[in-house]
Every structure is written in structure tokens, then in C-alpha cells.
Amino acid sequence: MIASIRQKFNTAFTEEAYQNYLDSLNTPFPGVLDFSVAETPIFIGKDFTEKVLATGDYVNQVIQSDSFKSITEPSLENVALFPNETALPQCIVMDFAIAMNEHNEIAPALIELQGFPSLFAYEVLQDECIRQNYSIPSGFSPYLNGYTKEKYMHHLETILKGDTLIDTKKNLDTNNRNISDSTKDTLKHSNKHTVLLEILPHQQKTRIDFYCTEKYFTIPIVCITEIFVVENHLFYERAGKKIKIDRIYNRIVLDELKNQTKEIQDKGALLWANLDIEWVSHPHHFFRISKFLLPFLKHTYIPKTQFVDQLTSIPTALDKYILKPLFSFAGQGVIIDISADDIMSIKDPSAWILQEKVEYANCIETPTGPAKAELRLFYFWDEASQKYIATMNLARLSKGKMIGVDYNKNKQWVGGSLAYFEKH
């Protein structure tokens, strides 16, 4: 999006550098990378970054408002309820299209959000591999709000393990004069055993993120088939030893659980019991902070969204809208080119939204034609400031109607990527 940087990157690009980049991504966990990776990162200027962050701040204000729980309670009406819901999730992700607005200007458009984790650990590896093989201009970073790799991983560890940050300068023994004033905040470890829980994790396309999480934070990967309950505690077994789970880093998409074998579904049913367990993030937040929240958001950079069951009439210009099932994942079930019959034939209109269609900008010049792009910002809860902070991101490039593998088959310069923001 910054023309001079884009031109310089494209001119310097070689297929050898790209292959070396892919090799770097595959080196830590050979054969695990299971999704397409774009040939290029994207570079975002200050003005666009400020608009995205301002929109994210507005969304977070709604999430932290007194009315949040009441307006999102209907999202749980048809859901089996889990115990131990926390008021707010520890992490939120927001998806922004890089769009062309009605004034023919490039602008962000919030198209989805989730109270659910993303590729939080993998993106650390991706940044390292990009920098090993490409020249990234000075003054650009994939981290936001002054975060660095070290600060990001420090914060993420507190979220995953339930640790807390303590200000050592405020907690010193006043008689101890040997500690420097520059002493930084440190972690107070909770000593709770955290596991990454997923359905058949070693078969998931995003499993490289699981392995990065395990490597960086020593968090075991546990399949839902391995769990069992003793009294009101959850366990799994390793090397013949029963290990108690205190905290679940939740990567289970409940919609996927419905499509599993009876054996796996029965294991999943254990999680609805009154267990002594903590969640990161609680399953209810997947529903509350999702497409369900979009109709309640009113902002310049958020497309108008309506619940289908609340439509007073079907819009005449349906080419300007898109239909989405509320709780689908990874773009499943979305209808792009819709007709009145599509709306009329929906069996459960309360489970669908009608969203203003976003015109993605063909803003990433590549040697094989312009690409569209989407940003996903990672927000972490900060206990000290009592707010969510944008910390890191991922990006996706597309040359099809939508961002996704099915729309980009046999295309180049598309797939998963990373955005580098001009520091401000």
C-alpha cells in the first residue's frame, strides 16, 4: 500500500528468496506447514494504521460496556452452556478488509471479530523467517503499540498460563538498596498446568501454531480424545502418568465437534460438566464476540449489518450485500451473490446476518496482477490498564472473490502473510 516500498520489494524479489522463506518456515517442524503462504508481506502506512486502531478501540469499548452481556446473551440461546464463564475473554481478534470506500479511498472495513485465539505463536516464527530472507525497511514492525517480540511473548505467556505481571520496583523490600531503578516488570507464575486443547490437533491445518505454542511456552498439546474426569477435575495421561489440567488454552471450534464421531463427541461432553477448570478463552466468548456483535456496532469503518430475522423488508439492491451464518468458522456457509430466494429459504433467520458488501481494494501490486488483502489484529487484555491492546497481526492475500483457499486455487502471490506497520 506504500507504492515506493511495494515497488522496491517487487523489484528485489526472487523465486529463490521465496523458496528460502518457505524452507525457513518448514525447518522447525518439517512437513507441518499445511496452508498457502504468500510471496510477500504487506506494508501499512501510519494513516491507515490509525484508522484501524481507532475502530478497534471503539469495538473494545462496546465489549467493555455495561450492556455487552445483555445484548449478547441471545447468542447462547441454542448453545449447551459451559460453567465458569469469565466476564471478558483474554484475547480478541478483529478482521479488517483493506477496502475501497464510497469516496474511492482505501479504508479499513471491519468484517468479522472473534473472542477466540488465532495464530498467536506462529506469527512470531513468520516474522523471523521473513526477516531472514527479505529486506524489511527500517521503521516498520508487525507489532503494534510499541510491542516488540520480547514484550509480545511476555504478554502472551501471562495470558496462556494465567501468570500476572508484577512491578518489581513497587514490591521491593525498602531495605534492599542493591536493585537498580531500571528493574523491569516480571512474571509471577501461577503454577497452574495449562494445555492446548483441540480436536485431533495433529490433523488440523493450523497445527504449526500449536507446535510453536508448545515450543515457545512449554504448553502441552492435548487431543480431546485424551481427556478424562476424576471427581470434578480434568486429566490426561502421558507416559502412564495422570496429569491434572488446571487451565485450557481453548482451540476447539464447537461447530467442528458436531461433525465428529460419537466417541469424540462423548469426550467433548465432559467439558460441560461442573469442572474445576479455567479457560483461555471461555467457549461462550466464541459466540458473544463474533458476527453476532456486528449488528450492534455503528462506526464509519464498520459495514452496516442486520440480523435476518429483524429485516422489515428484503433490500432491492441485493448485489450490495452478503449473507453469513452467525457461528460458522473460516468463511464456511457464506453466500456472496445472493437473491431474495436465498433469504426467504433460510430455515432459521435468527442464525444469519445480512451485511453490506465490502469492495476489497486491489491494492497490492504483484508481478502476476494486483491482490486484495485482509488484516487480522490480535488484541490482548492488559490487566494494568484494564483494556485491550492491539499487539500483533496476520494478513491474507487473495485474487478471488473471497479470502480463502477455494477462491485462490492455482494463483500466485496469495495466501497467509504478515503486515508491517509504519511506526507512529
pLDDT digits (tens, 9 = 90+) for 355-405: 999 999 999 999 999 999 999 999 999 999 999 999 999 999 999 876 765
In this prediction, residues 199-224 reach a mean pLDDT of 97
Nearest alpha-carbon partner for 373 in 362, 358, 383, 388 = 362
Residues in the chain, how many? 424
In this prediction, residues 125-140 reach a mean pLDDT of 97
Domain locations in the chain as residue ranges: 3-166+188-303+358-422
316 secondary structure, DSSP code? S
97 secondary structure, DSSP code? E
Nearest alpha-carbon partner for 39 in 58, 62, 25, 19 = 19
User: Residue 35 and residue 282: Cα distance in Å, rounded?
Assistant: 27
Instruction: Confirm if 291 and 334 have CB atoms less than 8 A apart.
Output: no
Residue 87 CA from chain centroid, whole number: 19
Instruction: Confirm if 301 and 107 have CB atoms less than 8 A apart.
Output: yes
SS3 for 292? helix
404 secondary structure, DSSP code? S
pLDDT, tens digit (0-9, with 9 covering 90-100), for 45-82: 999 999 999 999 999 999 999 999 999 999 999 888 99
Q: Is 331 left (phi over 0), alpha (psi -120 to 50) or beta?
A: left
Instruction: Confirm if 16 and 54 have CB atoms less than 8 A apart.
Output: no
pLDDT mean across residues, the chain = 91
Report whether pLDDT(189) > 90: no
- Predicted pLDDT at 334: 87
Residue 376 CA from chain centroid, whole number: 6
DSSP bridge pairs for 257: none
SS3 for 117? coil
Hunting for cell 471450534 — which residue is that?
A: 253
pLDDT band at 173 (very low <50, low <70, confident <90, very high): very low
- Predicted pLDDT at 137: 95
User: Residue 51 and residue 107: Cα distance in Å, rounded?
Assistant: 8
pLDDT, tens digit (0-9, with 9 covering 90-100), for 242-290: 999 999 999 999 889 989 999 999 999 999 999 999 999 999 999 999 9
> Judging by beta carbons within 10 Å of its beta carbon (0-12, 13-18, 19+), is residue 242 exposed, middle or buried?
exposed
In this prediction, residues 1-12 reach a mean pLDDT of 92
- Predicted pLDDT at 190: 74
Instruction: Confirm if 152 and 143 have CB atoms less than 8 A apart.
Output: yes
pTM of the model: 0.92
Residue ranges in 332-414 assigned as alpha helix (H):
340-344
3-state DSSP: the chain helix, strand, coil percent, rounded to 5? 35, 25, 40
Question: Around Cβ 177, how many Cβ atoms within 10 Å?
Answer: 7
DSSP-derived secondary structure for 29-80: STT---S-B-S--EEE-HHHHHHHHHHHHHHHHHHTSTTHHHHHGGGGTTSP
SS3 for 87? coil
The helix/strand count (H/E) of the chain reads as 11, 20
pLDDT, tens digit (0-9, with 9 covering 90-100), for 191-209: 899 999 999 999 999 999 9
pLDDT, tens digit (0-9, with 9 covering 90-100), for 292-347: 999 999 999 999 999 999 998 998 889 899 999 887 766 678 888 899 999 998 98
pLDDT band at 93 (very low <50, low <70, confident <90, very high): very high
- Predicted pLDDT at 179: 36
Hunting for cell 511506526 — which residue is that?
A: 423
Nearest alpha-carbon partner for 86 in 162, 21, 182, 145 = 162
- Predicted pLDDT at 185: 58
